[in-house]
Chain A
Amino acid sequence: MATSFKVELRRGMVVTGKWKHGRYKVERLLGEGANGKVYLVQRDRNWYALKVGFDAIDLQSEINVLQSLAKQKKQGQEPFLFDVDDLYGPDGREYPFYIMRYVLGSRLVVYLKQHGEEWFPLVGLNLLNKLSKLHEAGWVFGDLKVENVLVADYGHVELVDYGGVTASGKSVRQFTEMYDRGYWNCGSRSADPGYDLFSFGVLCLQLHEAKRLHQLTAELLPQNRSAAELIEIAEASAALRPIAGWLRKAFAGQFHDAGDAAAAWRHLMHRRDTHRPSATPVWLKGLAAGSAILLATSVYWLLRNVL
């Protein structure tokens, strides 16, 4: 019977693959997903991320997705998956693992806190483009949430934890209730582009109105969860009001695909009022008014002298 145990690797430990004998030195824990843990490791002076799974079948099914994705990648793109093997944990049991590219980046929430809210529209767009590429290849991310988005320099976005990635048309393999379309009575749990876009909408709410969103999940009766409740939060929020129309479409599943959604998002970004602070600062307005008056006065004097 497949029983899962939680493996724990310690700093400085050297992990050796059972089949291919790759040796990796463990540096630190990077994160923990639903079906495994991710560590930063070193091999031949290169940094990698190692994901060790709690269950061989479960992890292999994630590896299968990554391998199909790797096959679809265009040439010239950086490889993503480097090694797949088993290791012996400190408890003597065998655990499956895979080695992937280490992405240097911060968690979405941390990035926006450090670099400022003004990065949000661009990061959002990059994320939508990322999803769009995945959708074009026939996949849906599934478990989109703030924890699964890393942001590198200049708003560059990476998705992490591919445990939820599902072939289009099948049932979503892994999801988080609060981001789930079905949880909000807004549609099925079948993998389609709209599923990810719905989660993206909740992610926007989570970034700006986390407290109110959590309050809603705690207070609402299951049958009363709805897109209208989510939109109400967006419209009451200064940060989200400019994208409320976009969110309405995302929650209603009205975007044709992520490309369509990204285009609408881009359109919003280049509208003046989306960026906050939107209005011209008061001192600038004053200055403009002042110079206009000055101009009028000088023109008046000029004309008066000439005539």
Chain B
Amino acid sequence: MKQILLITDGCSNVGLSPVVAAAHASSEGISVNVVGVLDHGDVGELGATEIDEIARAGGGLSRLVNMRQLSQTVQMMTRKTVVQTIQLAVQKELKQVLGNGAIEALPPDKRGEVVRVIDELGETSGLQVALLIDASASMKPKLAAVEEAIRDLMLSLQARQGKSEISVFHFPGSRNGGDCVMDLSWTSHLNGVQAIFPKLQMGGTTPTGPAIMHVIDFYRQGDYGRQSRDETDGMMSGYVV
């Protein structure tokens, strides 16, 4: 199972529409979840609509939360999306039994069996979550909470019986180029990772769409990402499209 989890606090303003990018992800079998982080006010109507639409296009969930709820929300969304992904797959498999209906159309006795399978697969299937963090200037004071949420998510995933990996990206890249930078390649633990976001240079633009495309590419290239981590130094840790 593949997921992208986007954490942002506002609207994209450069490049490809993030809704189109999320639809691309969905067609590659990657679910896109979006968390909108509020500080005092809100993300604005435009931001809220975009967040909702990205998740819809990406077949995932969206939530607007304040920083205190971030860890719990990220953890809960990831879990729910796992169940949902498997539910959709099982529904497809059972099409002959279910017709076009959902699992809800089964009588409760039979539902029990199906849900047992869903739960089991949800616990044991391999899972990859690519975290994509909006690091535009307004997000700066929130990055500590984001890092905490990432560590908390890793803790939850480590408790699963299946193999779980996360990777971390942020956007925009440094001042003069790059939509997206990789901070951490696929890993199943954060032991020894002191800081996930060391000395970020906060950019002014918010290229959410291009950044999602970048992560889809990373997924496509699979093992390439793994190798690049070993072969590059700090400067290059995050190959640029």
Question: Are A and B part of the same complex?
Answer: yes
Complex contact B108–A86 (CB within 8 A): yes
Q: Is residue A90 contacting chain B, with contact meaning CB distance below 8 A?
A: no
Interchain CB contact (< 8 A) of A222 among B118, B119, B123, B151: B151
Question: Smallest Cβ distance from B163 to chain A, in angstroms?
Answer: 13
Q: How far is the CA of A84 from the CA of B112 in the complex (A)?
A: 10
- B contact residues around A86 at 8 Å (CB): 104, 108
Contacts of B72 in A (CB 8 A): 177
Q: What CA separation (Å) do A171 and B119 show in the bound complex? A: 11
Instruction: Say yes or no for B141: interface residue by CB 8 A criterion.
Output: no
> Which residue of A2, A57, A60, A171 has the most chain B CB atoms within 10 A of its CB atom?
A57
* B156 engages A182 (CB within 8 Å): yes
Write the A145-176 contact mask toward B (1 if CB under 8 angstroms, else 0).
Answer: 00000000000000000000000011110000
- Chain B residues touching A, majority SS: helix
| Residues on the B chain within 8 Å of A222, using CB | 148, 151-152
Assembled-state Cα–Cα distance A2/B31 (Å): 14
Task: Assess whether B161 is interfacial by the CB under 8 Å rule.
Answer: yes
CA separation between A182 and B241, bound complex, in Å? 37
- The answer to whether A2 and B84 touch (CB under 8 A), given A61-B119, A63-B108, A177-B71, is yes
Interface residues on B, range: 20 to 34
Does B200 reach chain A (CB closer than 8 Å)? no
Check if A67 sits within 8 Å of B112, measured CB to CB.
yes
Q: Is the CB of B84 within 8 A of A169?
A: no
B115 touches A190 (CB 8 A): no
**Bound CA span A163–B208, Å:** 36
Q: Is the CB of A169 within 8 A of B161?
A: yes
Q: How far is the CA of A2 from the CA of B118 in the complex (A)?
A: 14
A19 within 8 A of B: yes
Contact at B156–A60, with CB atoms within 8 Å?
Answer: no
Chain B residues 113 to 139 lying within 8 A of chain A, measured CB to CB, are 115-116, 118-119, 123
Give chain A nearest CB distance to B115 CB in angstroms.
Answer: 4
The 8 Å CB contact of B111, one of A56, A171, A188, is A56
Contact of A64 among B71, B112, B156, B158 (CB under 8 A): B112
Known: A2-B87, A57-B118, A222-B148. A170 touches B108 (CB 8 A): no
Convert B92-104 into 0s and 1s, putting 1 for each residue whose CB lies closer than 8 angstroms to a CB of A.
Answer: 0000000000111
- A64: chain B residues within 8 A (beta carbon): 112, 115-116, 119
Question: Counting CB contacts under 8 A, is A85 at the interface?
Answer: yes
Which residues of chain B from 147 to 168 have a CB within 8 Å of any chain A CB? Answer: 148, 151-152, 155-156, 158-161
Interface of chain B residues 13 through 39 with chain A (CB within 8 A): none
* Cβ of B77 under 8 Å from chain A: no
A94 within 8 A of B: yes
A193 at the interface (CB under 8 A from B): no
Contact A84 B108 (CB under 8 A): yes
Q: What residues of A have a CB within 8 angstroms of the CB of B119 in the complex?
A: 61, 64
**Cβ distance A202 to chain B, nearest Cβ, rounded Å:** 16
* A19 to B107 alpha-carbon distance, docked (Å): 7
A194 within 8 A of B: no
Residue interface mask A107-142, B partner, CB < 8 A = 1: 000000000000000000000000000000000000
Min Cβ gap A122→B in Å is 33
> What distance in Å separates the Cβ of A177 from its nearest Cβ neighbour in chain B?
6
Are A171 and B87 touching (Cβ within 8 A)?
no
Q: Is B83 an interface residue (CB 8 A)?
A: yes
| A57 engages B156 (CB within 8 Å) | no
Given A1-B84, A222-B151, the answer on whether A172 and B159 have CB atoms closer than 8 Å is yes
Closest-by-CB residue of A relative to B86 is A57
Q: Which residues does chain A contribute within 8 Å of B59, judged by CB atoms?
A: 1
* Max chain A C-beta neighbours (<10 A), residue from B59, B108, B109, B111: B108
Q: Select from chain A the residue with minimum beta-carbon distance to B162.
A: A171
Bound-complex Cα distance A243 to B56 (A): 51
Neighbouring B residues of A57 by C-beta, 8 Å: 83, 87, 103, 115, 118
| Cβ of A32 to closest chain B Cβ, rounded Å | 16
A96 interface residue (CB < 8 Å to B): yes
Task: Compute how far the CA of A169 lies from the CA of B160 in the bound complex, rounded to whole angstroms.
Answer: 9
Q: How far is the CA of A188 from the CA of B160 in the complex (A)?
A: 10
- Chain A residues packing against B (C-beta within 8 Å): 1-2, 19, 56-58, 60-61, 63-64, 67, 84-86, 94, 96, 169-172, 177, 182-183, 188-190, 222
A–B complex contacts, Cβ < 8 Å, 12 sampled: A19-B107, A57-B83, A57-B87, A63-B108, A67-B112, A84-B108, A94-B104, A96-B108, A171-B123, A183-B152, A189-B155, A222-B148
Q: Which residues of B contact A (CB under 8 A)?
A: 59, 71-72, 83-84, 87, 102-104, 107-109, 111-112, 115-116, 118-119, 123, 148, 151-152, 155-156, 158-161
Extra A-B contacts (17), CB below 8 Å, given A56-B104, A57-B83, A64-B119: A2-B84, A2-B87, A56-B103, A56-B111, A57-B115, A60-B108, A61-B118, A63-B112, A64-B115, A86-B104, A96-B104, A170-B160, A171-B156, A177-B72, A188-B158, A189-B155, A189-B158
